[in-house]
Amino acid sequence: MIQKVKGTYDVYGQYGKKLLYVEKLIRMFMEKYNYEYFRTPIFESSSLFHRGVGETTDIVTKETYDFKDRGNRDLTLRPEGTAGIIRSYIENKLYGNNSMPVKAWYYGPMYRYERPQSGRFREFYQFGVEAFGSDDPMMDAEIISIPVNLYKALGLKEIKVNINTLGDDESRKRYREALIEYFKPHLESLCEDCKERFKKNPLRILDCKLDAGTDIMKKAPKTIDYLTDKSKEHFENVKKYLKALNIEYVVNTNLVRGLDYYTHTVFEVEANVKGFGSQNVLCGGGRYDNLVETLDGPRTSGVGFAMGMERLMTAIEYEKIELPVINNVDCFIIPISENEKQLGFEICMNLRSKGFITEIDYNNRNLKNNFKLADKLNSKYIIIIGNDEKISNILTIKNNITKEEYKVELDKLVDFFNENINKN
């Protein structure tokens, strides 16, 4: 038997209904925030991710799915969404739009070759938001507010925002020099990956999972101590706008995020989910004022976030949140014999076209088994069509909850359901 590839999963049943509900809620949020939907290719030129995500990140060095196509081009399955959105922004010259900022959202599959675990897969779905063309700290606060408000709308509790700042280019330069000076005498105590990071990008050392928690890491210099006055002002204004939105936050000076391109604000949003352990971080993002230029576009400010849908759905499951998904049908149609199937099918399709969730017996079951199926489908009403109903055009309708029966003329059927079924 052929089985799914390691690190992938199937969607079906109740999980599928819940996922569609969350996706619908995301679309509603994006409409309210006035973000435009973007969709980019699942595979892109490898250089896009190497330059955009960063040569020194674990994603690029260890996790990307790289391949050559039949034209001998180096391609990569997208490991994250930001680089592709920026490529689209530049290629389609959206920076020439006078209605800046350009606010984009995306949703789709991403691919990383990493160890599968609860809420983490090699093929995973990501929802993300990017905003280009404004360096106003108010935009940072707006970006942070989206996942916070989404999680609250879904019923997750104890939402916590961790924020930090990496500062502008000058701040990062100062901080980089301080890290080099600090870690140089401790190199032999670091893991092999961190020794390599020290040469290429010492900031990445702070994101190490192996050395996290050691005294060396705890005593490392903090970004906040090397900020320029301008960077300090930006960060203070971000905090001011978050307070205005009643969003609680904690300044976490150890937070640097795992990508090379961040400047100024970085953040993570977590929920205190019982039994969730280290997976409580549901979303992360930040500002990246140099990334568009790095990918050959004009100097453009940017800020965004991304969240993994699998981790979010796991959090909803652990919290035992009951999402308002539809688990019933409005009407189940039972033709008594082959002679009534065509009429039953016509009625079924007509009710569907009027907005009613309708099913019909496709397998010529007997009446008893059809009633069992109607119960399994949580059908509100049952229409039984026999020879008498076919001749008279008067249908027998049973309320499957109260067990009341009605006789309804065929041409009054839609009116009957409009009066008796709440379609909202």
Q: Crossing angle of helices 229-244/137-154, nearest 10°?
A: 40
> Which strands make up the sheet holding 405-409, listed edge to edge?
358-360, 331-335, 381-385, 394-399, 405-409
pLDDT at 278: 58
Residue 307 CA to residue 282 CA, distance in Å, equals 6
Q: CA angle, corner 166, sides to 163 and 172, nearest 5?
A: 170
Q: Assign 3-class secondary structure to 303-338.
A: EEEEEEHHHHHHHHHHCCCCCCCCCCCCEEEEECCH
| 13-168+228-318: CATH, from 3.40.190.150, 3.30.930.10, 3.10.620.30, 1.10.1240.10 | 3.30.930.10
Residue 188 CA to residue 398 CA, distance in Å, equals 78
Q: For the chain, give percent helix, strand, coil, nearest 5.
A: 45, 20, 35
What distance, in Å, lies between the first and last C-alpha atoms of the chain? 43
Which residue's structure tokens are 């619908």?
24
Which residue's structure tokens are 């490529």?
87
344 near 362, Cβ under 8 Å?
Answer: no
**DSSP classification of residue 63:** I
CATH fold for the domain made of 331-420: Rossmann fold (3.40.50)
Residues of the chain with CATH 3.40.50.800: 331-420
Neighbours of 341 (CB within 10 A): 17
pLDDT at 275: 73
Picking from 239, 236, 307, 242, the residue whose alpha carbon sits closest to that of residue 270 is 307
Neighbours of 286 (CB within 10 A): 27
pLDDT at 230: 95
Residues of the chain with CATH 3.30.930.10: 13-168+228-318
Neighbour-count burial of 260, counting CB atoms closer than 10 A to its CB (0-12 exposed, 13-18 middle, 19+ buried): buried
pLDDT at 188: 77
Residue 383 CA to residue 332 CA, distance in Å, equals 6
Q: What is the pLDDT along the chain (424 residues), one digit of tens a residue?
A: 999 999 999 999 999 999 999 999 999 999 999 999 999 999 999 999 888 777 666 677 788 999 999 999 999 999 999 999 999 999 999 998 777 799 999 999 999 998 888 778 999 999 999 999 999 999 999 999 999 999 999 999 889 999 999 999 898 888 888 888 888 888 777 787 777 777 777 877 777 767 677 777 778 888 888 899 999 999 999 999 999 999 999 998 878 765 667 889 999 999 888 777 655 889 999 999 989 998 999 999 999 999 999 999 999 999 999 999 989 999 999 999 999 999 999 999 999 999 999 999 999 999 999 999 999 999 999 999 999 999 999 999 999 999 999 999 999 999 999 999 864 3
Give the pair of three-digit tokens for residue 110.
């991403």
Please tell me the pTM assigned to this model.
Answer: 0.88
Query: Distance of alpha carbon 361 from its chain centroid, rounded?
Result: 37
pLDDT at 424: 37
pLDDT at 15: 95
Residues in the chain: 424
Give the pair of three-digit tokens for residue 38.
């973007």
